[in-house]
């Protein structure tokens, strides 16, 4: 079976069974690269099902790159609230501003230019150029890795065989219909060659897949576990005499930048010599590289030694908080 035949089979299946999604057109590139840009940012580390309502709301408020570039950071965060990973919202906002300022409002189409934008790595650049401009860039994510490893029976740890997977992804790709092919292989991974219980009998590649019917198919691909570093710290609910709660805005750089939070630390203690009450409650949150455990502490203080301000409990929802801080606020309510 030639690779052309394989991609033709997949494209035929996609035309019949591919998902209709709000950011998708079938039969070529999407006419509006902004739609692809927003959806690609939202889909990073988030499922299609979760993204759909956020995407619809976001596009209704920021229907084009100009509107988004002009919007204030806090409003963009407010429309992102609940999707998590706020650095993506910030990068998308900055990318919109860069496109307006550095590219005269015209979306870049060269890989090296797209890579200059904020928050865009190899995966996003490939899917953006495929879906927005029909360029044959190999899109390699967990779905594609799973399908290729199963098709060819590759059981070695993925980390070790990434160059081979990349080469195969490039070989399989349709040069005639890159946008549809990128969407098709994503749908195959999401709908048929799923991590658990793949539906091999519905698969357009079943006659060419060496893993079809394998009892241990769910073990492919072989994912090398990357251990997360665990950190332990404290988060402080500082109250004044009016029972207001002290919040602060994170600085512009680093994790969760631009969002509001209660003061916290992941090592040592922020308050020495003050009466701190440990509540016995804690929150745990998993970031990309670390697992963070924070003990919740109460403290009374009229003038905390931080930049920030007090707000009444009923006004807390006016401020964008990270998922981690929302967990803390839920625990102390």
Q: Which residues bind ligand SF4 (CB under 6 A)?
A: 147, 150-151, 192-193, 198, 200, 203, 205-206, 209, 211-212, 217
188 vs 259 by CB, closer to ligand SF4: 188
Residue 206 near residue 151, CB atoms below 8 Å = no
Question: Token pair of 37, please?
Answer: 């840009």
State the residue for tokens 């002290």.
246
Containing 296, the helix (H) or strand (E) segment is strand 290-300
Minimum CB distance to ligand SF4, residue 217 (Å): 6
Q: Which two tokens stand for residue 82?
A: 């609940």
3-state secondary structure 25-62: CCCCCCCCHHHHHHHHHHHCCCCHHHHHHHHHHHHHHC
| Smallest separation (angstroms) from ligand SF4 to the CB of 198 | 4
| Residue 261 designated active-site | no
Q: Which is nearer to ligand SF4, 173 or 322 (CB)?
A: 173
Structure tokens at 77: 């965060």
- Tell the smallest beta-carbon distance from residue 225 to ligand SF4 (Å): 22
CB of 194 to ligand SF4, least distance (A): 8
19 near 184, Cβ under 8 Å?
no
Q: How many CB atoms neighbour CB 289 within 10 A?
A: 10
Contact 287, 256 (CB under 8 A): no
Q: How many CB atoms lie within 10 A of CB 273?
A: 5
Residue 200 or 329 with smaller CB distance to ligand SF4: 200
Q: Quickly tell me which residue has 């970031």 as its tokens.
A: 287
Q: What DSSP string describes 190-218?
A: IIIS-SSS--GGG-TTGGG-TTTT-TTGG
Nearest residue (CB) to ligand SF4, 86 versus 205: 205
Which residues are 296's β-sheet partners? 235
Question: Cα(129)–Cα(36) distance, rounded to whole angstroms?
Answer: 9
- Smallest gap from Cβ 24 to ligand SF4, in A, equals 22
For residue 223, the minimal CB distance to ligand SF4 (Å) is 16
Of the candidates 40, 75, 215, 218, the residue annotated as catalytic is: 40
Residue 174 CA to residue 180 CA, distance in Å, equals 9
CB of 43 to ligand SF4, least distance (A): 21
| Nearer to ligand SF4 (CB atom), residue 200 or residue 298 | 200
Across 135-289, where does the E strand assignment appear? 229-239, 245-249, 260-261, 264-265, 276-286
Which residue in the block uniquely carries the two structure tokens 């745990």? 284
* Enzyme catalytic residues: 40
């Amino acid at each position: 079976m030639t690779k052309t035949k394989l991609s033709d089979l997949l494209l035929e299946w996609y035309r019949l069974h591919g998902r209709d999604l709000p950011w998708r057109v079938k039969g070529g590139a999407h006419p509006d690269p902004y739609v692809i840009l927003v959806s690609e940012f939202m889909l990073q580390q988030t499922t299609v099902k979760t993204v759909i309502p956020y995407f619809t709301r976001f596009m209704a408020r920021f229907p084009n790159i100009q509107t988004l570039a002009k919007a204030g950071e806090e409003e963009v965060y407010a429309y992102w609230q609940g999707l998590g990973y706020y650095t993506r919202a910030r990068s998308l906002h900055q990318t919109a501003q860069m496109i307006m300022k550095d590219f005269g409002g015209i979306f870049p189409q060269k890989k090296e230019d797209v890579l200059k934008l904020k928050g865009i790595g190899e995966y996003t650049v490939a899917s953006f150029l495929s879906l927005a401009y029909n360029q044959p860039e190999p899109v390699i994510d967990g779905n594609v890795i799973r399908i290729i490893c199963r098709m060819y029976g590759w059981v070695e740890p993925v980390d070790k065989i990434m160059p081979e997977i990349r080469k195969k992804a490039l070989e399989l790709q349709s040069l005639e219909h890159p946008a549809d092919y990128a969407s098709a292989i994503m749908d195959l991974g999401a709908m048929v060659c799923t991590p658990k219980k793949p539906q091999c009998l519905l698969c357009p590649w079943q006659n060419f897949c060496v893993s079809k019917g394998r009892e241990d198919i769910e073990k492919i691909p072989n994912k090398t576990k990357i251990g997360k570093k665990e950190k332990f710290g404290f988060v402080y609910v500082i109250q004044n005499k009016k029972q207001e709660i002290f919040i602060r805005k994170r600085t512009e750089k680093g994790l969760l930048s631009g969002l509001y939070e209660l003061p916290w630390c992941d090592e040592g203690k922020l308050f020495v010599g003050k009466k701190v009450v440990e509540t016995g409650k804690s929150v745990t949150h998993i970031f990309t590289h670390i697992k963070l455990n924070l003990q919740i502490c109460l403290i009374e203080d009229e003038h905390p030694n931080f930049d920030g301000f007090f707000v009444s409990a009923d006004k807390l929802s006016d401020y964008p908080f990270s998922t981690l801080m929302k967990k803390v606020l839920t625990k102390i309510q």
